[in-house]
Amino acid sequence: MRRLVSELYVRDNCHPFKATVLVWIQLPMWIFVSVALRNFSTGATHSEGFSVQEQLATGGVLWFPDLTALDSTWILPVSIGVINLLIVEIFALQKVGMSRFQTYITYFVRALSVLMIPIAATVPSSIVLYWLCSSLMGLSQNLLLRSPRFRQLCRIPLTKSDSDTPYKDLFAAFYAKFISRK
């Protein structure tokens, strides 16, 4: 059995460790950048000339002109929660017949997404903006990698579960799960 599994790993180029490489790189990087932005926003770093904190204090846009202050409107924190929940639901909608463990993990990540809203409301806007951009990129990549044209352009092989109309299927599953519930 081990030999067959090893042959499948080689044949399909899908060793389980490859799925975790992103976590081993992305999660520490996300933490380090968040801590660095916190240090910049609170003035914990020192530099000559204009400090980074002064630049962040005047470098905001729209409703958050001061990136060192909290977002008093809660627009950024709520946006993070909504986008993270959307990412979780996209993954949950594509899974049919999830195991009990997968269901628990899905509920845990949903709870974590909601918990991020009050956490994001207590940190400087520079960190929240970084988290929002990170989540938006994750959502964009998730949606882009569903596109058959993009997958063909990048020579990503099709699988049996791939659809010719992934966005219509996703919308139909979303509509069936959340809107047309009777």
Give the pLDDT score at 114: 95
d(C-alpha 84, C-alpha 135), whole Å: 6
HEC-encoded secondary structure of 26-43: HHHHHHHHHHHHHHHHHC
- C-alpha distances out from residue 147 to 8, 83, 118, 152, 160, Å: 26, 19, 34, 9, 15
Interatomic CA distance for residues 117 and 7, integer angstroms: 45
Model pLDDT, residue 83: 96
Residues of the chain with pLDDT under 50: none
- What residues does 61 pair with on adjacent strands? 64
Q: What is the pLDDT of residue 136?
A: 95
Distance of alpha carbon 152 from alpha carbon 161, whole angstroms: 15
| Helix intervals (H) in 43-124 | 52-58, 75-94, 100-120
Give this prediction's pTM.
Answer: 0.76
In this structure, what token pair is assigned to residue 118? Answer: 């009050």
Q: pLDDT > 70: what percent of the chain?
A: 93
Read off the pLDDT of residues 30-44 as tens digits, 9 standing for 90 and up: 889 888 888 877 776
